[in-house]
């Protein structure tokens, strides 16, 4: 009985004749670039999925008998009963659509004919392949046309050849891994050792040997690339470590701790990004670099903690000092001794500035309390000044009237008038002293006018006293006698002097003394 066509179709192999190939490299088991991109997050050179990822044959596809059994005709399928249309909720919970596997490769008739030339089928349906001078039975396909049997085994050969071609293409990929090369070559050697296929098996094995050599060369390239990538990754990560160490070494009293913390945080993020996006560094090197980086961070954290402790202690002391200043301010804020108290508040302000800062929150609250006490005093002082200013302007008006009254006593011509003016001025002075202060800007002007009246009266009084003073008369008489004697001496010297210039000097001296004489008389 001849098998139905679908039993030996290239796209529908009988269950009994399907190959149990779990390691073959086919288009279905090569990964896409998107799948390859997610591999090796620690920086390994991304690689395609291994041959095991291409295991598409299920246990149901494995051969169950050594001898193929023709497929029995199947009855026509019964039309299914109509089902109710699913609801939107049911559609929302449907299983996701599974993408169908790519179709099996198709081969040209010329390729099939060349492969079939290496095989034959005997009368019992046994299929043989020629390998050099010998033949090897590769299978049995009874009750079938010889052409159909050869076609099936030739396609198996072409499938193997396609696997080799795909592996050759994978060798050129920059994503391939060394272990994938070894596993693929081992798998292909096993498949090409005694394959149940018809074709130029010698050429197939030769091609595999060449691919094995290319695989070794590709592994050497990958090893060198990994070595270079490893050196580059170590250099880049060392640069991050050195930056952290430089930051740790630069810590001091002038360090901006917040800015430095941001820099360490940025370096740690760079470390994590480098760890995710580059090749995985050997554990020994990675541990050594991390130890250095961690040590730099620990140095910074310890220094910042020490600085924070010192800052907190300093702020506590500053807060204590400012509390004392506020207490002193509260004690003197109600004082009306404006001058000394103003000086005390100025001293408290100087101490406040020297105390330093107690932290923004505490400083704002402390300053508000100190400012409140100071405002109580200075507002009271200002109110008093405003009141005093009104009184002083009134006093100024009164004193200007008194000055005008005093100036009316002038001029004083004789001793009697001077005596009367002095008596009136004394009364005016009593009223003057009783009035009180005037605005500061007017003090010199108003006092000066009153002093001028007093000086003129006193000048007349002094002149009268000098005229009646015996001691003064005696002094004048003695001076007059001295001048008379000096003038006589000058007359004698002028008469005897022959030098015109010296004579002129003596005459000038005589004229001066004569003026003095006239003044005394």
In this prediction, residue 475 carries a pLDDT of 59
Indicate if 349 and 403 belong to the same structural domain: no
Indicate if 220 and 306 belong to the same structural domain: no
- Examine residue 75 and state whether it is found in any structural domain, yes or no: no
Indicate if 493 and 376 belong to the same structural domain: no
Indicate if 16 and 140 belong to the same structural domain: yes
Which residues does residue 90 pair with via DSSP β-bridges, in sequence order? Answer: none
Provide mean pLDDT across the span 58-79.
Answer: 38
- Examine residue 297 and state whether it is found in any structural domain, yes or no: yes
Provide the percentage of residues in the chain whose pLDDT is more than 70. Answer: 76
The mean-pLDDT minimum among 70-74, 154-158, 256-260 falls in 70-74
In this prediction, residue 242 carries a pLDDT of 93
The mean-pLDDT minimum among 78-87, 221-230, 274-283, 315-324 falls in 78-87
- Examine residue 142 and state whether it is found in any structural domain, yes or no: yes
Q: pLDDT band at 78, cuts 50/70/90?
A: very low
Tell me the average pLDDT of the chain: 77
- Examine residue 332 and state whether it is found in any structural domain, yes or no: yes
**Structure tokens given for 395:** 């006093």
In this prediction, residue 507 carries a pLDDT of 80
In this prediction, residue 337 carries a pLDDT of 86
Q: What is the DSSP string of 379-424?
A: HHHHHHHHHHHHHHHHHHHHHHHHHHHHHTT----SHHHHHHHHHH
Indicate if 339 and 410 belong to the same structural domain: no
More reliable by pLDDT, 208 or 505: 208
Could you report the per-residue pLDDT of 192-230, keeping only the tens digit for each? Answer: 899 999 999 999 999 999 999 999 999 999 899 889 999
From 291, 311, 331, give the residue that closes a domain.
311
Indicate if 29 and 175 belong to the same structural domain: yes
Q: What is the DSSP string of 205-254?
A: HHHHHHHHHHHHHHHHHHHHHHHHHHHHHHHHHHHHHHHHHHHHHT-STT
Indicate if 306 and 319 belong to the same structural domain: no
Q: How do beta strands 134-140 and 119-121 pair?
A: unpaired
Give the span between the Cα atoms of 211 and 164, in whole angstroms.
8
Give the span between the Cα atoms of 359 and 325, in whole angstroms.
17
- Examine residue 80 and state whether it is found in any structural domain, yes or no: no
Indicate if 123 and 201 belong to the same structural domain: yes
Q: Which residues, 6 or more positions from 25, have their beta carbon under 8 angstroms from its beta carbon?
A: 51, 54, 163, 166, 167, 170, 184, 187, 188
Indicate if 207 and 348 belong to the same structural domain: no
Indicate if 254 and 293 belong to the same structural domain: yes
Q: Which residues, 6 or more positions from 489, have their beta carbon under 8 angstroms from its beta carbon?
A: none
- How many domains, in total, are found in the chain? 4
Q: Is the peptide bond before 311 cis (omega within 30 degrees of 0)?
A: no
- Examine residue 284 and state whether it is found in any structural domain, yes or no: yes
Listed residue (147, 152, 164) closest to 197, CA to CA: 152
- Examine residue 85 and state whether it is found in any structural domain, yes or no: no
Indicate if 180 and 325 belong to the same structural domain: no
Q: What is the DSSP string of 126-184?
A: EEEEEETTEEEEEEE-TTS-HHHHHHHHHHHHHHHHHHHHHHHHHHT-TT--HHHHHHH
**Structure tokens given for 131:** 């390998």
In this prediction, residue 467 carries a pLDDT of 63
Give the span between the Cα atoms of 211 and 218, in whole angstroms.
10
Indicate if 153 and 19 belong to the same structural domain: yes
From 285, 311, 337, give the residue that closes a domain.
311
Provide mean pLDDT across the span 271-285.
Answer: 91
From 172, 196, 227, give the residue that closes a domain.
227
φ/ψ of 3, rounded to 5, equals -70, 145
Domain that holds residue 260: 234-311
Positive or negative: CA dihedral 138, 142, 148, 152: negative
- Cβ atoms of 297 and 245 within 8 Å: the answer is no
Q: pLDDT band at 410, cuts 50/70/90?
A: confident
Give the span between the Cα atoms of 163 and 208, in whole angstroms.
10
Which residues does residue 129 pair with via DSSP β-bridges, in sequence order? Answer: 119, 136
Listed residue (355, 331, 354) closest to 341, CA to CA: 331
- Examine residue 86 and state whether it is found in any structural domain, yes or no: no
Most confident of the following: 35-39, 319-323, 395-399: 319-323
């Amino acid at each position: 009985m001849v098998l139905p066509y679908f039993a030996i179709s290239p796209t529908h192999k009988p269950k009994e004749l399907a190959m149990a190939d779990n390691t073959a490299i086919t288009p279905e088991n090569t990964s896409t670039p998107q799948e390859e991109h997610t591999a090796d997050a620690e920086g390994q050179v991304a690689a395609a999925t291994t041959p095991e990822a291409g295991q598409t044959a299920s246990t149901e596809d494995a051969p169950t008998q050594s001898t193929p059994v023709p497929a029995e005709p199947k009855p026509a399928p019964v039309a299914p009963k109509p089902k109710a249309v699913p609801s939107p909720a049911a559609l929302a919970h449907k299983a996701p659509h599974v993408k169908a596997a790519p179709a099996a490769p198709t081969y040209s008739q010329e390729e099939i004919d060349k492969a079939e030339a290496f095989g034959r089928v005997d009368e019992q349906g046994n299929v043989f392949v020629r390998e050099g001078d010998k033949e090897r039975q590769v299978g049995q396909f009874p009750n079938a046309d010889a052409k159909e049997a050869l076609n099936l085994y030739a396609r198996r050969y072409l499938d193997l050849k396609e696997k080799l071609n795909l592996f050759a293409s994978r060798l050129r990929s920059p994503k391939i891994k060394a272990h994938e090369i070894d596993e693929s070559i081992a798998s292909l050697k096993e498949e090409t050792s005694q394959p149940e296929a018809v074709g130029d098996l010698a050429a197939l094995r030769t091609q595999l040997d060449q691919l094995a050599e290319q695989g070794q060369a590709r592994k050497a390239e990958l090893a060198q690339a990994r070595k270079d990538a490893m050196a580059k990754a170590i250099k880049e990560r060392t640069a991050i470590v050195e930056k952290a160490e430089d930051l740790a070494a630069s810590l001091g009293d002038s360090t901006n701790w917040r800015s430095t913390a941001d820099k360490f945080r940025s370096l740690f993020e760079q470390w994590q990004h480098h760890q995710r996006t580059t090749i995985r560094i050997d554990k020994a090197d990675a541990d050594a670099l991390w130890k250095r980086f961690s040590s730099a961070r620990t140095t910074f954290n310890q220094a910042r903690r020490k600085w924070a402790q010192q800052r907190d202690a300093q702020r506590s002391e500053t807060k204590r000092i400012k509390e004392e200043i506020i207490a002193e301010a509260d004690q003197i804020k109600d004082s009306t001794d404006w001058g000394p108290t103003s000086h005390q508040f100025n001293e408290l302000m100087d101490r406040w500035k020297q105390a330093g800062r107690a932290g923004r929150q505490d400083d704002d609250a402390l300053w508000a309390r100190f400012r409140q006490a100071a405002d109580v005093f200075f507002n009271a002082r200002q109110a008093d000044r405003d009141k005093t200013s009104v009184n002083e302007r009134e006093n100024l008006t009164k004193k200007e009237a008194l000055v005008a009254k005093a100036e009316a006593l002038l001029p004083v011509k004789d001793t009697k008038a001077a005596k009367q003016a002095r008596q009136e001025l004394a009364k005016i002075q009593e009223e003057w002293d009783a009035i009180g202060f005037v605005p500061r800007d007017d003090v010199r002007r108003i006092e000066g006018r009153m002093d001028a009246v007093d000086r003129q009266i006193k000048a007349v009084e002094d002149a009268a006293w000098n005229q009646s003073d015996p001691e003064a008369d005696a002094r004048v008489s003695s001076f007059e006698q001295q001048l008379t004697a000096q003038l006589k001496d000058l007359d004698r010297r002028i008469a005897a002097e022959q030098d015109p210039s010296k004579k002129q000097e003596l005459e000038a001296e005589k004229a001066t003394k004569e003026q003095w004489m006239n003044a005394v008389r």
